[in-house]
Chains A and B, each alone.
Chain A
Amino acid sequence: MTFTESTLIETLFREHYHQVFRVAYRITGNALDAEDVLQTVFLRLSRKEKLDLSPSPAAYLSRAAINASLDLVKSRWRTVSIDVLDNYQSTQASPEVQHRARELQTIVRKAIAALGTKTAELIVMKYFEGYSNKEIARMLGTSEIVIAVMLHRGRARIRKELGKFLED
């Protein structure tokens, strides 16, 4: 990689590190993993021969962060049970409620990570990042209908996992 490309990386990092971290934080649920993902995404970027950031750097980095985060969650999901309460801005809820909320979040995170890569990415983009079906369709290069179908199936599976947990 040339000097000029490394300047670009630096600029990208400065502009987007917060976003990448936030995306990763939402999916992995803790700051240590989010940091891991931040590093992985930019390290990979810096190792590429050619930088191709279509359709836009923000979207590309977002997706890279999502995929790296899902990979990380998947690789850890066998050993992680319930995360220790992280430092995060929460409501004034009691510890029990907070704990329960945390448990549910972990279930949802793991359920998402257990979906197929594409479906998981879609769910994250829609429900964690708030993109619309149209935007997602554009970013992934397919039609809205296909997105809707995949989202529907993904949601059904997550619902199932949630249902199982809530019955217990």
Chain B
Amino acid sequence: MRKRDIDKTFERITEEIRNEQPDRATVEAAADRVWKKLGAATPEQQIEKIRNCADFQALIPYYLHGSLSSGRKLLLEDHTRECIPCRRALKEARHGRPDQAQQVQSRNYSVFKVAVAAMIFITFAYGLMPFVKQFFNYTHTVSAMVELADGHVYTVENNGLRTLTAGVGVASGEIVRTGKDGAAILKLNDGSTVEMNERSEFVLTDDGNGRTIRLKRGSIIVQAAEQKVGRLYVTTEDCLVSVKGTTFSVTSGTKGSRVSVLSGEVVFDHAGQERTLKPGEQAVTGSNLDQVPLKDEVAWSRNRDRYLQLISELESLRKEIAKVPVPALRTASNIIDLLPERTVFYVALPNLSQNLSESYKLFQQRVSESPTLQEWFGKNNSDTAELMQMVEQIGGYIGDELVLGSALNAATRPHDFIAIAEVRDRDGLARLLSAKGVPVISDPAMAGSGMNVWLSDRFIVVAPNGEAFKAVVAHQPADSGFAKTQFYARIKDVYSEGAGLIIAADVENMISASDKERLASLGLSNVRHFIAEQKQVGGKTRNRAVLTFKDKRNGVASWLAPPAPMGAMEYISPEANLAAAFVVKEPSLLFDDLLGFLSKEEGFQKALSDLEAKHGISLKRDFVEVIGGEFAFAVDGPILPTPSWKMVLEVYDAGRLQSSIEATVTAVNREVPEARLALSKSETNGLTIYTIKPEKGGISINYAFTNGYLVAAASTGLVERAVKYRQSGYTLLRSPKFTAALPEDGSANFSAVLYQDLAALLSPIAEEVNDESRVATLANAAPTLVAAYAYKDRVVVAANTEGGPFGLNPAMLFGMPGSASLQKMMHGAMSQKK
């Protein structure tokens, strides 16, 4: 379809959207509902009285803006008639303080705007002053726009460095610098792009003749747009390069400068001599500087692009394969009744042969179409193709389920697995098996001691040895004792809700008495069943594992507390890359358990009591008893240079914990004098933040006690921000990304949760680097979330992932990395250097 037609369509659609008016009644109704909810959010504020001058003065801005109710307005006017300080405050607010007027005047703008501003001053209430002032802040000119900023990229200002990110503008005269491992791509107003390597610095200047990029140090690659008027210049300490439209790289260091031309032509001026460089040519200003092969000179940039291309294609391919339809969920099984009473292991797989072969065909097709993918996967593997063919064939002959089972034999040990499937086309399967040379028996009595494949009218049974075979076959399905067991009932429950993949183990009967004793201290001796399942529902993959106990959990297994609201998570923002939280039962009980476990080790008790006596602390009393059971950890913020970690801990007695921490710092300084830890504190906005840092500098731990929690982070700024997140309600728990990733158990409370969203890390990079929307979809990949719910007699772990069957998908079988690994690779590519 022609570009113009598409444009017209787009115009038409946006016009339709623009003209769409929501129904008046709908809007009113919605506004009513919302207002009720908002009103409910701040009921206490509406009853507040005006108590003192401070309250009155707080009303002034709104009085000047005209939004005070008439009652309050009267009160304020009345009050200021009598109260001199308040009257003065009102006067000042109306006329503005002297330095405010100064600031406005020092701006550089046209006379007309000055006149308008003056009019505003005089005729309108000074409540508008703040708005007007802000308006004028936005008129400085921007000469370049940051398209991509990775790692340390900033502009140098008088009072320090300001970090640059994608989408930020850079003005003429501003110094742009990249630090170690930094990289940036900037687009100039004329369309030229400047790509910066790490540790580089340049300034843009504009003069009558054209634009100049003054490279102070480092490496840049310039793709100069066609210069219609004037030229683009790049200067270093010792040379000048002028261009009309080319791609070239300039490196400048203490030894001199090096200019390499990739395309187009460049005039190189050094030491009074001019030279024209053509593509592939290079010039250096100092004889000390080596000539570097062109390829290497730009290697740090080219590799990255190619790598990104590869990753985006892999991700598209993975997504396509994930869309191949999977068999429907099974609500019943014809095979389970065949298993013997003492079955302790049950695995049911859906018949994926069709899905696998279709995925493989799709995979082959895409790889043949793309040279990038071919490079990655190497030569076409004919073995895999053959295997796939066989899978497809066999799959066509059997039913929709394959079951693997294992039962206890006479010696009460589980025997080897046997596989059972329903047979759809007995003759076809028989022919195939004999063609492949597989011996088949048609009468169970003929079973030998080795591998047996029995093909009956309805089923095919494969057993690795005679014993296993007999265990399954030697009973009548009609009176199978298995159907009476609890294990069977549990498995049937899973089927009743629709089953995909099931893995179930009757742990209670599987482990021997001696094993049970060993596991007793871990609390796992009374485990009853383990049932894991995975299925595709509505395009998402639901994973769930349930561990049931005979009675109340004890030991390690009981450490996890029942699901509870995670207050600690309110300090984490929706943009967190990684978050983990859990609630434990009383930490002191946990501590006792742990001690009990560890004191089996020789000398542990003694070492512990020695340590405590020496420093006059009691671990239990001074640390463990003062903390609550909630714990959260997150990486929330930039990853470079130091990961923005934060940790939140519920605290019952902040005072005692603080003194314990102080005592610990002293103790550490005594034991390890080189550490010289310093504990300091600072106050911001009513929040006291403590900092523990080695005297000689380095990483610090910053923490504050707030609202019953201890919030610790890599920097004081992060601690402040965490507190702000909670106050503003801007938290991970309420972000749509998080709630969308929740397993549909309905509950908003967990015992433990692990959340990972690497995509958030990549999206600012992805959108600006490559025009392909495929890269954008990589960045939009859903986060993964694993949640655990610990009830009295069972623990459930659930997660939604985007993998296909088996959580891996067929793609993984062909040697493709999964989504998370792709994202990690992508991040690696972004920071790849020469």
Q: Which chain B residues lie closer than 8 Å to A22 at the CB level?
A: 21-22, 27
Q: Mark A95-126, 1 if CB is under 8 A from B, else 0.
A: 00000010011001100001110110000000
Mask for B24-54, Cβ within 8 A of A = 1, else 0?
A: 0011001101110110011001101010000
Given A17-B31, A21-B30, A116-B767, is A75 in contact with B22 using a C-beta cutoff of 8 Å?
A: no
**A155→B10 contact, CB < 8 A:** yes
Q: Give the distance in Å from the alpha carbon of A75 to the alpha carbon of B746 in the complex.
A: 19
Q: Which residue from chain A places its CB closest to the CB of B47 in the assembled complex?
A: A3
A-contacting residues, B140-183, CB 8 Å: 141-142, 145, 166-167, 169
CA distance A48 to B142 in the complex (A): 31
The answer to whether the Cβ of B727 comes within 8 Å of any Cβ in the partner chain is yes
In the complex, chain A residues 124-146 whose Cβ is within 8 Å of any chain B Cβ: 127-130, 138-143, 145-146
In the complex, chain A residues whose CB is within 8 Å of the CB of B642: none
Cβ–Cβ < 8 Å partners of B134 in chain A: 54-55
Complex: chain B residue closest to A101, CB-CB? B16
Contact between A157 and B771 (Cβ–Cβ < 8 Å)? yes
A150 to B191 CA separation, bound complex (whole angstroms)? 12
Say whether chain A's binding surface is mostly helix, strand, loop, or mixed.
helix
Chain A residue contacts of B16, Cβ below 8 A: 101, 105
- A89 x B48 contact (CB < 8 A): no
Whether B68 contacts A7 by the Cβ 8 Å rule is yes
Q: Contact at B780–A74, with CB atoms within 8 Å?
A: yes
**CA gap between A9 and B37 in the complex, in Å:** 13
Determine the chain A residues whose CB is within 8 A of the CB of B137 once the complex forms: 141
- B135 is an interface residue with CB less than 8 A from chain A: yes
Nearest-CB distance from A37 to chain B (Å)? 10
Complex: chain B residue closest to A26, CB-CB: B17
Q: Which residues of A contact B764 (CB under 8 A)?
A: 116
- Whether B46 and A4, one on each chain, are in contact in the complex, defined by CB atoms closer than 8 angstroms, is no
Known: A7-B68, A146-B169. A34 touches B30 (CB 8 A): yes
**How far is the CB of A65 from the nearest CB of chain B, in Å?**
13
B779 to chain A minimum Cβ distance, whole angstroms, is: 9
Partner of B31 from A21, A56, A105 at Cβ < 8 Å: A21
Cβ of A116 and Cβ of B768 under 8 Å apart?
yes
Q: A46-B42, A108-B14, A166-B1 are in contact. Are A146 and B48 (CB under 8 A)?
A: no
Whether A4 pairs with B9 at a CB distance below 8 angstroms is no
Knowing A114-B773, A159-B10, A166-B9 touch, does A127 contact B58 (C-beta < 8 A)?
no
Pair A89/B20 contact, Cβ less than 8 Å:
yes
Write the B779-816 contact mask toward A (1 if CB under 8 angstroms, else 0): 01010000000000000000000000000000000000
Which residues on B sit within 8 Å (CB–CB) of A157?
771, 773
How many Å lie between the Cα of A9 and that of B46 in the bound state? 12
B614 interface contact, C-beta 8 A: no
Smallest Cβ distance from B18 to chain A, in angstroms? 6
B445 located at the interface, meaning its Cβ lies under 8 Å from any Cβ of chain A in the complex: no
| CB pair A25 B20 closer than 8 Å | yes
A156 to B772, CA, bound (A): 11
Tell me which of B341-349, B396-404, B520-528, B728-736 binds A.
Answer: B728-736
Of B3, B37, B130, the contact of A39 (CB 8 Å cutoff):
B37
CB-CB contacts below 8 Å: B753-784 with A: 763-764, 767-768, 771, 773, 776-777, 780, 782
In whole angstroms, what is the CA distance A53 to B127 when docked? 12
Contact A44 B131 (CB under 8 A): no
Residue of A nearest to B14 (CB): A127
Given A7-B62, A88-B20 in contact, is the A72-B736 Cβ separation under 8 Å? yes
User: Counting CB contacts under 8 A, is B138 at the interface?
Assistant: yes
Residue A149 CB within 8 A of the other chain: yes
A54 to B135 alpha-carbon distance, docked (Å): 7
Q: A108, B10: Cβ atoms under 8 Å?
A: yes
B273 interface residue, CB < 8 Å from A? no
Residues of A close to B9: CB separation below 8 A: 104, 162, 166
Asked whether B362 is an interface residue with its Cβ less than 8 Å from the other chain, the reply is no
State the CA gap A46–B731 with chains docked (Å).
16
Closest to A57 in B: B131
Interface size class of A (residues with CB under 8 A): 35 or more
Closest chain A CB from B161 CB (angstroms): 20
From residue 677 to 691 of chain B, which have CB atoms closer than 8 A to chain A? none
CA distance A105 to B10 in the complex (A): 9
**Residue A158 at the chain B interface, CB threshold 8 Å:** yes
* Cβ–Cβ < 8 Å partners of A149 in chain B: 145, 187, 191
Q: A3-B48, A4-B62, A159-B10 are in contact. Are A54 and B130 (CB under 8 A)?
A: yes
CB nearest neighbor in B for A141: B138
Q: Are B67 and A35 in contact (CB under 8 A)?
A: no
| Nearest chain A residue, comparing its CB with the CB of B65 | A8
Q: Which A residues from 34 to 81 make CB contacts under 8 A with B?
A: 34-35, 38-39, 42-44, 46-49, 52-56, 71-72, 74-76, 78-79
Are the CB atoms of A8 and B138 closer together than 8 Å?
A: no
Kindly state whether residue A84 has any CB partner on chain B within 8 Å: no
Given contacts A9-B38, A25-B22, A160-B773, contact A3 B46 (CB under 8 A): yes
Closest residue of chain B to A51 (Cβ to Cβ) is B61
A143 close to B189 (CB less than 8 A)? yes
Instruction: Please tell me if the beta carbons of A6 and B30 are within 8 angstroms of each other in the complex.
Output: no
Q: B711: shortest Cβ distance to chain A, in Å?
A: 18
- Cα A163 to Cα B141 with chains together (Å): 36
By the criterion CB–CB under 8 Å, are A39 and B22 in contact? no
Decide: A138 near B138, CB < 8 A? Known: A155-B10, A161-B773. Answer: yes
Cα distance, A108 to B17, chains bound together (Å): 10
Say whether B6 faces chain A, with CB atoms less than 8 Å apart: yes
A108 and B13 contact, CB distance less than 8 A = yes
Q: Across the interface, which residues of B come within 8 angstroms of A52, CB to CB?
A: 130
In the bound assembly, the distance between CA atoms of A124 and B187 in angstroms comes to 23
Known: A3-B46, A8-B67, A31-B22. Contact between A142 and B142, CB under 8 A?
yes
A153 to B35, CA, bound (A): 39
Tell me the minimal C-beta distance from B659 to chain A in angstroms.
31
Per the 8 Å Cβ criterion, residues 253-288 of B in contact with A are: none
Does A87 make an interface contact (CB < 8 A)? Answer: yes
Residue of A nearest to B35 (CB): A13
> Across the two chains, which residue of chain B brings its CB closest to A6?
B45
Q: Which residues of B contact A160 (CB under 8 A)?
A: 773
Which 5 pairs across A and B sit closest by C-beta, in order of nearness? A54-B134, A116-B767, A75-B736, A141-B138, A35-B30
Known: A34-B22, A115-B767, A130-B18. 16 other contacts (CB 8 A): A1-B42, A5-B62, A11-B67, A22-B27, A31-B23, A39-B37, A42-B38, A54-B135, A55-B135, A56-B131, A79-B538, A116-B767, A127-B18, A142-B145, A149-B145, A159-B7
What are 19 pairs between A and B in contact, CB < 8 Å? A2-B48, A4-B59, A26-B18, A31-B22, A39-B37, A42-B34, A55-B135, A75-B740, A78-B782, A88-B20, A89-B21, A105-B13, A105-B16, A114-B780, A128-B14, A128-B17, A138-B138, A143-B141, A146-B189
Q: Which residues of B contact A (CB under 8 A)?
A: 1, 3, 6-7, 9-10, 13-14, 16-18, 20-23, 26-27, 30-31, 33-35, 37-38, 41-42, 45-46, 48, 50, 55, 58-59, 62, 65, 67-69, 72, 130-131, 134-135, 137-139, 141-142, 145, 166-167, 169, 187, 189, 191, 538-539, 727-730, 736-737, 740, 763-764, 767-768, 771, 773, 776-777, 780, 782
